[in-house]
Amino acid sequence: MTESPGSEEIVTYHANIATANVFPDQVIIEFRSFLRSHKEVFDTLGPGKPIPAPDATTLYKSPPIARVVLTFSAAKGLMEYLQKTVPVVEAQRKA
């Protein structure tokens, strides 16, 4: 799903699954938007339960909505940032 950009705005994509392929000189991250119907979720899991990610076969049938290629050093920087930031934000969400 994408939001229409203005003439000079950056396109924004909303995804709920990211996959990554790591190579010696780059990292390729693909983003997918995988939605299940409420009926499927409720019939399978019941209301209020966390929704598990789809199995790999189902996941990869859906094409990525965006692909980002990072240099290896940029990927390491992103990893370090997320390792520092995600625990702090997660604690704030639980507070």
Query: pLDDT-derived band of residue 6, with 50, 70 and 90 as boundaries?
Result: low
- pTM greater than the 0.75 cutoff: no
Sequence spans of domains, the chain? 2-94
Q: What does the pLDDT look like over 36-90, one tens digit per residue?
A: 777 777 777 777 777 777 888 888 888 999 999 999 999 999 999 999 999 999 9
Q: What does the pLDDT look like over 11-48, one tens digit per residue?
A: 888 888 899 999 999 999 999 988 777 777 777 777 77
Q: What percent of the chain has pLDDT over 70?
A: 92
User: DSSP letters along 2-54, please?
Assistant: EEPP-SSPPPEE--SEEEEEE-SSEEEEEEE-----HHHHHHHH-TTPPPPPP
